[in-house]
Amino acid sequence: MKNVKITPVYDSKLSSAAVEAVNNGLQELLMGGNPEAIAKKIQDAQARALGK
């Protein structure tokens, strides 16, 4: 194999709570949800998981 660039997968870098928030947020976006509110939910979930 030649040089292969690996693409990071977000769910391997985030907590399980943040991954769940991302997945739920994607569904919310498809139903017309507010992107800023969804982003805050994801950030809050990750911060809680990290104890911040």
Cα 33 off chain centre by? 15
Q: What angle, rounded to 10 degrees, do the helices at 35-49 and 16-30 form?
A: 170
Amino acid 13: pLDDT = 86
> Residue 10: what pLDDT?
78
pLDDT value, residue 44 = 96
Q: For the range 8-14, what are the long-range contacts, defined as Cβ-Cβ under 8 Å and sequence gap of 24 or more?
A: 14/46
pLDDT digits (tens, 9 = 90+) for 1-52: 578 888 778 778 899 999 999 999 999 999 999 999 999 999 999 999 999 8
Tokens of 39: 């982003």
